[in-house]
Structure 1
């Protein structure tokens, strides 16, 4: 018994020593390979950020309009249940891209393509880069385009730049647009339109008087503290009120957030960060603006890329195919890359719950009538850059958080957006062009 007891003690001691030695070895291995484990974690975070970024880009940069022909007539196509632009984005997910070939820069051939009944057209509100569409650098020059021509073939589609009237053919692998073509043939919403050259783009003019629906939404607005936390953080933030009814929150001299006080009855915020300017391509500006849109924490469900001009990138909510102007002349978010600062002007109103359509409509004249009235009011036709139908927000007094979306004509001139009614007012009052450019 005594010998047996000593043998057990010896085995226990050996086992304990082995466990201690193994622990020391593992500890040394972990400490000497900390960079390896950190790299795994960093790679995982980078991968997650990359997927998140691509998801946001896919949500924001979606074509917003669709066009097709029937019996020789061009129509604006819309179907609430079968959204053509979203269907196009879904069908691109498994597509691989081949060669990109420049076909033509002839204005005549470009206009022939615009009016070719064999193609379904999808357009962005303004030009974007080819690499942004493909989510990878497929071209060194990163050509710009505005519209996509879906051909009868699944082996390629065409991209068109309104500004340069250049057409590119893009080879496709594993593409199938048969369902998109079917949606286009059977779209419930059809409005006769035509393409008209304005400034440096081809804009859609409605050729008939149309009855547009009025929609209503319950809204939600985040408080100042929400945006202060997201944009400035929670430490070392100071606040000071000005005499004009604004509160400015400052992280330091270089980073600030201006918020409206309640008495102003506005919802427009301005975030600014001063930093040394750098040379950026259009694609880089578009991608950088995506990061700020996500950082704001506003609902991204209906947000879409809306405009790009003079270094500013704008995003708007799109409801039933039309953009929403949450204030008199601005969409939801505008990111401006100035010479020595980055500025983000945004509206904190989130469209939350749609109210069932109650039959209200607004009757709008043909687009040419609107342009004619603007010219008669004193606005130069050469200054008109875009003419669109969009929603103006109107407060519904039956409920604190209820708004109505009223369809009206919006016009871009002198790189500014205003309703057609506002432009008529400015034109008839004799406001100078310099004042118009400055927005006074």
Structure 2
């Protein structure tokens, strides 16, 4: 009886000692902790990683009706582009030919074809990347670059691939293909935005014709621990040599040889530097394939993450999280994840430590955004130069919520790539 009296205090003391010991081990060298729980977690994570075609998918759909009127298709309940892509996976006996080359008139004639849906990438992709979206039906096609896909809703035998850079148009012929499912997408309860596809600064751009009301969102964010990323990214044969250094808001994990993982708790950002030799060639297909592999290594759910940009000069690939078909921009213009190949022996990946997970009803009313033309005129009137505007995009601005560190507010706004940097239209106006 006397022994049982001390049993619980002794057990608690042992538990505390074990806990403190494990904590010290994790603090000084988290890679030493190899539990079954981590293995199970990584296994579950692998099942959440989406195939390549989920990430490298078009991000905008524009419908042109029989009268030539155009509208951007949006649906809060159904992913419109995913539904359209489902109709593109059974093309039979496809063949490709160059239909038009270098003519802006011919390019826009096809792009604005009545009775068609145009799918657009935010930046060009290669045919081998596009091929993943059509169930490898285009695997024998030349590896040209493509910005847009035009799908006729009244022609069962043709579709078109467009390149914005040189205004090339490729015609793809297929064996008679049912259009029932494609036309069914147009009967869904879809919110549309009146639009016109035309030139801006000698580049094709989808203009929003009139003011548009956008709904703000509040999101619960997902926060993974540092240990999770250490386990995912530094789990190699040399991982037993991992050390950790802390300085104010920054902690750096490294194997003192070829890999380094940095976390900035203030900025809520992570950076993984890999100094092992890489075989990433200087072409877009190699860059995007290699970047996707890095994305998968990170182990984040990719349901709403989409390819957003590729800079061939810096060999940087940018991904953003999309909400209702529109990308999220943070205060510094960063997206969700970016990868960069510096040289043959150095690669880098920057990523956010916070990611939107669960939408929560917002009490804020709708935000009204001006038309594209009005927005550009206002910027010019405030002293900005129209010729310095490279790209224009409706998106959501990421703002912290004052009520909880686990909540963010997503506010609709125009975003402008001005002088090489993505900036909020509202902030640009307010600066003057």
Band of TM-score, shorter chain: 0.7 to 0.9
Cα shift readout 1:377-406 (whole Å, capped 9, x = no counterpart): 443322211111101112222333121210
Q: Are 2:326 and 1:330 aligned?
A: no
Structure 1: how far apart are the matches of 2:141 and 2:323? 36
The alpha-carbon deviation at position 320 of structure 1 amounts to 0.8
Structure 1: how far apart are the matches of 2:272 and 2:49? 24
TM-score when normalising by structure 1: 0.78
Report the equivalent of 2:52. Answer: 57
The alpha-carbon deviation at position 100 of structure 1 amounts to 1.2
Aligned pairs (5 A) from 1:41-440 = 56-70=51-65, 71-96=67-92, 98-105=94-101, 106-135=103-132, 136=136, 138-139=139-140, 141-151=142-152, 152-173=154-175, 175-184=177-186, 186-199=188-201, 201-233=203-235, 234-242=239-247, 245-261=249-265, 264=266, 266-275=267-276, 279-309=281-311, 310=313, 311-340=315-344, 341-356=346-361, 358=363, 360-424=365-429
Count of paired positions: 373
**Cα gap change, 1:183 to 1:359, in 2 (>3 Å):** farther
Structure 1: how far apart are the matches of 2:118 and 2:335? 25
Please, which runs of 5 or more residues in structure 1 have no aligned partner? 1-50, 429-440
Structure 1: how far apart are the matches of 2:123 and 2:401? 32
Larger proportion of helix: 1
Structure 2: how far apart are the matches of 1:364 and 1:159? 31
The alpha-carbon deviation at position 110 of structure 1 amounts to 0.5
Name the SS for the 2:413 alignment partner: strand
Q: Which has the higher contact order (CA 8 A, sep 6+)?
A: 2
Q: Is the 8 A contact 2:49 2:296 kept in 1?
A: no
Cα shift readout 1:331-388 (whole Å, capped 9, x = no counterpart): 1011112235211111121222111354621111112222223334443322211111
Q: Is the 8 A contact 1:144 1:161 kept in 2?
A: yes
Structure 2: how far apart are the matches of 1:197 and 1:368? 12
Name the SS for the 2:380 alignment partner: helix
Name the SS for the 1:228 alignment partner: helix
Give me the CA root mean square deviation.
2.6
Q: Is the 8 A contact 1:312 1:334 kept in 2?
A: yes
The alpha-carbon deviation at position 96 of structure 1 amounts to 4.1
Structure 2: how far apart are the matches of 1:230 and 1:140? 36
**Cα gap change, 1:69 to 1:339, in 2 (>3 Å):** same
The alpha-carbon deviation at position 108 of structure 1 amounts to 0.9
Name the SS for the 1:269 alignment partner: strand
Structure 1: how far apart are the matches of 2:92 and 2:203? 29
Name the SS for the 2:403 alignment partner: coil
Q: Is the 8 A contact 1:329 1:417 kept in 2?
A: yes
TM-score when normalising by structure 2: 0.79
Greater gyration radius:
1
Structure 2: how far apart are the matches of 1:366 and 1:63? 23
**Cα gap change, 1:187 to 1:415, in 2 (>3 Å):** farther
Please, which runs of 5 or more residues in structure 2 have no aligned partner? 1-45
Moved more, 91-100 or 231-240: 91-100
The alpha-carbon deviation at position 60 of structure 1 amounts to 0.7
